[in-house]
Each structure stands twice: as structure tokens, then as C-alpha cells.
Amino acid sequence: MKKVNRRSFFSTTLKATAAASLPLSFSTNLPEDTRSKPNLFAGKPGVIDTNVNLFDWPFRKLKYGETDALLAKLSKHRVEKAWAGSFEALFHKDINGVNERLAKECKQKGKGMLLPFGTVNLAWPDWEEDLRRCDEVYKMPGVRIYPIYQTFDPSHPDFEKLVAQVEKRKMILQIVGDMDDSRNHHPIVLTRGADMNSLIDIIKKYPKVKIQMLYWTHKITGNLLERFIKETNVVFDTSRIEGSGAVGRLIEGNPWNGKKGIPLAAERVLFGSHAPYFPVEASFLKLMESPLTAEQANGILQGNANNFMNSSL
């Protein structure tokens, strides 16, 4: 796979933009109700939130944990579409049940806003059938995996197969680095590590695979982040980009700590709130705290996710 620089990324995504016809009209194999939904904020920039989860967080009742409450909260902040995973994916063994409930919830309660991102667990048998159903039965645009809870990481023997199949199916693969701060986990929970180094070599074999990292900043830092930036097309959510003005400084290649001089193209940053676990306000405020251009901010809020969804890298 060739190196990706800012210019070539622009070129790829701009082509995708032309095909995408902003605002929001997803061209992937989405359920009918999400495909045909009119733009709720015509003429004004709506938001695509690429990182929300539905159902119960296993350890706490969340303020906006009910789907209706979450949708109302997201709407208040002009979120027009939200890519929704399921908290059930962390511990459940009946993965098809998890995905079926997620698809049903998005369809019945999603008001056209929620796009279901089911899951597969490579540690459980028959994951390929789960992936097939996500694509063919539930018409999901992608799958979200939670390696530190699901007890596998890119070194798993089936991981490359997952990447290959996701690429073949033209789906999105979202990889969650963390869900919360491990320092205040419930003491009976000991999550696994997840080494993302081997992911790069796998990605290089599948240049058209679309991968997004969510809450990624503990798992991808320093030299590894540099490799992701230079050697892959992976995109990143905003939920745990942390530090004063950190979104802008990441784009500039000027982080407070860590390696400087490695800018991340703004087009590779996608709005992701990690709601309802995190306050949705946090990711919006980050776009105020950093001195971004309007073009950069609007891309992060919507255009980049739209391009990513519709592009064939």
C-alpha cells in the first residue's frame, strides 16, 4: 500500500464527496428508513456522530441511556445521524441477539437518525455468520469491535480474515480502543490489552478497507500514531482526543506531549461523542477550543464522515 499524504487523501475524499451529494444522502446498503430520510437541517450544517452506543452500560444507569432520551439530546445539539453500537457487545455471548436488538431499536426508535453498527467477536465461534447477517440481513453499514472487552486484538489469527471480509463487503470497521478509564473499572473487571501494531501490516494488504478508531488515544500514541498517519488511511474519532486545543494541535502535528511534526489531515478526524457515556457537549466544545477553519470544523462535524461512509478508498 502506498503512503498516504495530505494531497492524496484530499484527492480520494474529494472524489467521494462529489459522489456523495452533500448534505447527507448515504449511498451504502442502509435500511430503507435511514436511506430516504430528508435532511432535518436543510441549509444548515447538521452533524454526524460516529460514536454512540445504545442500551445499558453494564455498570451504571446513564443519564441519556434510553434511546429516546439519547435522540432528544443529540437532536438538541443538531446531530442528524448517529452511528450506533451496542453496550451489549461487551459481554454478551449471543452476538446475533445483540445485533438483532440493535437493528430493531434503530429501526423502531431511531427516527431515521440511528445507523446500527453491530459487532462480531472473533473469540466466539461462527463470527463470520454474524458479519454476514450484519451486512445482508440487518443491512448495517459497518461493525464495531471492542477488543479489550471481547478478548481479542489484531494479533488474533482471524483478524486478517475479518479485515478482508469487511473490505469485500464494503463495510466500515470501527475499532474501540477503550470505553472508559481503566483506573476506575469495577474491580472484578480486568480488561485485556490490545496491541494495535500488527493492525498496520494487515491494513496494508487491504488498501480499500475502511477503518475508524474510536476512543483510541491510549492505544495509539507516539511512533505508532505516526505509522497510522503515514502508512494507512485509518480515520479517528474526536471522543478522547484530550488536552487543551488538542484537536487543532493534532491536525497541526503539535501535540503537548509526544512526537511533533506529524500532522494528521483534518479530513481524517470525524466527530464522535461517545454518548451517552461521555457528555455530547465535550466533542463540540473541542471544535471551539481549537482554532480551526470553518472548513475543517464542518468537515469534522459532517463532511468527513459522509465522505468516509461513501468513499471506496
Nearer to other proteins, 32 or 181 (CB): 181
Query: Which one of the spans 57-65, 113-121, 168-176, 202-210 is the region binding other proteins (CB under 8 A)?
Result: 57-65
What letters, b where the CB count within 10 A reaches 16 and e where it falls short, cover 39-62? ebeeeebbbbbbbbbbbeeeeeeb
Q: In the complex with other proteins, which residue's Cβ is closer, 139 or 286?
A: 286
Q: How many residues bind other proteins (CB under 8 A)?
A: 51
Among residues 82, 22, 85, which one has the least CA distance to residue 48? 82
Q: Dihedral (C-alpha) 230, 233, 234, 239: value to the nearest 10 degrees?
A: 80
Nearer to other proteins, 180 or 231 (CB): 180
Residue 187 found at the interface with other proteins (CB under 8 A): yes
Rounded to the nearest angstrom, the gap between the alpha carbon of residue 22 and the centroid of all alpha carbons in its chain is 20
Give strand pairing partners of 175.
145, 213
- Based on the shown chain and the rule CB under 8 A, indicate whether residue 150 belongs to the binding site for other proteins: no
| Given 42, 157, 183, 261, the residue binding other proteins (CB under 8 A) | 183
SS3 280: helix
C-beta of 100: minimal distance to other proteins in Å? 27
The owner of cell 436488538 is 101
Please, which residue, 15 or 185, has the CB nearer to other proteins? 185
Does position 2 interact with other proteins (CB under 8 A)? The reply is no
43 touches other proteins by CB under 8 A = no
CB of 173 to other proteins, least distance (A): 24
Q: What is the footprint of other proteins within residues 258-277 (CB under 8 A)?
A: 275-277
Q: Which one among 245, 253, 258, 263 touches other proteins, defined by CB under 8 A?
A: 245
Q: Which of residues 215-234 bind other proteins (CB under 8 A)?
A: none
* Residue 292 in contact with other proteins, rule: CB under 8 A: yes
Is the torsion defined by CA of 89, 95, 101, 104 positive or negative? positive
From residue 210, give the alpha-carbon distance in Å to each of 30, 57, 279, 306: 16, 27, 27, 13
Specify the residue, 165 or 217, whose C-beta has the smaller distance to other proteins: 217
Residues 190-219 touching other proteins, rule: CB under 8 A, are 190
**Segment (H or E) for 237:** strand 235-237
* Calpha distance 116→176 (Å, rounded): 15
Q: What's the closest the beta carbon of residue 262 comes to other proteins, in angstroms?
A: 18
Relative orientation angle of helices 222-231 and 197-205, to the nearest 10 degrees: 10
Round to whole Å and give the CA distance between 210 and 48.
Answer: 17
Among positions 24, 47, 171, 269, the unique one binding other proteins when judged by CB under 8 A: 47
CB of 190 to other proteins, least distance (A): 7
**Residue (133 or 249) nearer to other proteins, CB:** 249
Q: Is 297 near other proteins (CB under 8 A)?
A: yes
What is the SS3 assignment for 228? helix
Q: How far is the CB of 277 from other proteins (least distance, A)?
A: 7
CB atoms within 10 A of CB 286: 23
Residues that bind other proteins (CB under 8 A): 44-45, 47, 60, 62-64, 76-78, 180-188, 190, 240, 242-246, 256-257, 275-289, 291-294, 296-298, 301
